[in-house]
Amino acid sequence: MDVNNRFLNVAHSLKVPVIQGDASVLATLESANVAEAEALLAVTSDDVANLEIALTAKGLAPKLPVIVRNQDPQFAPLAQQVFDFEAVLSPAELAAPSFAAAALGGRVLGNGMTADSLWVALATIITPGHPFCGRRVKEAAMTADFVPLYLETRCQTIHGWDLLEVSLDAGDVLYLTVPATHLEQLWRVNPAPLAMQLNY
């Protein structure tokens, strides 16, 4: 609890209710009416505190969806499974695909979780050496398991079903969404696992 938190004044000015106290204490969560909450986010910078908050909340409201922040990408799936949290997210794991995409020539537009999978929306420039150069969008999408959104060529922007039959040329910009686990397939013909490339 930080009584000098820089966001407190903003919260007060917007008339957002603020409860100051240790969120791992049952009485604090009860005063926040956590049993009636839609969900709980335990996202402090302290992993142990996040776990304590989440477990206390689950003790109070067992069916409450709980999202927990944890720095250790190896611990996250284990904690999610053992404690039955809705999700345990690691900032490093969430950021890694974005850094990889940027490093490999893509422009990240955003990302999101769907059915426990992180998806990344990005734009990739088709270069002469790109593994998809000269291939139809449909063929490239099936090979790399991505969903094409639209294509910008030198002359036009192509959307809809027509997009699937277009052949990708150097200089085209393909906008797509892809599971983060398949991100490296957008730039490599024989990709190494992304985790090995990032060494986090």
pLDDT at 191: 40
For 122-162, what is each residue's pLDDT tens digit? 888 888 888 889 999 999 999 888 999 999 999 999 999 99
Under-70 pLDDT residues of the chain? 1-2, 93-106, 184-200
Task: Give the domains, in start order, of the chain with CATH numbers.
Answer: 8-89 (3.40.50.720), 93-198 (3.30.70.1450)
**C-alpha span between 30 and 45 (Å, rounded):** 23
Let me know the angle formed at the C-alpha of 146 by 104 and 144, rounded to the nearest 5 degrees: 70
Segment holding 89, helix H or strand E:
strand 87-89
Of how many residues is the chain composed?
200
Q: What is the pLDDT of residue 108?
A: 72
How far apart are alpha carbons 88 and 103 in whole angstroms? 26
Strands 87-89 and 66-69: parallel
How much is the pLDDT for 153? 92
DSSP 37: -
Task: Give pTM, 2 decimals.
Answer: 0.52
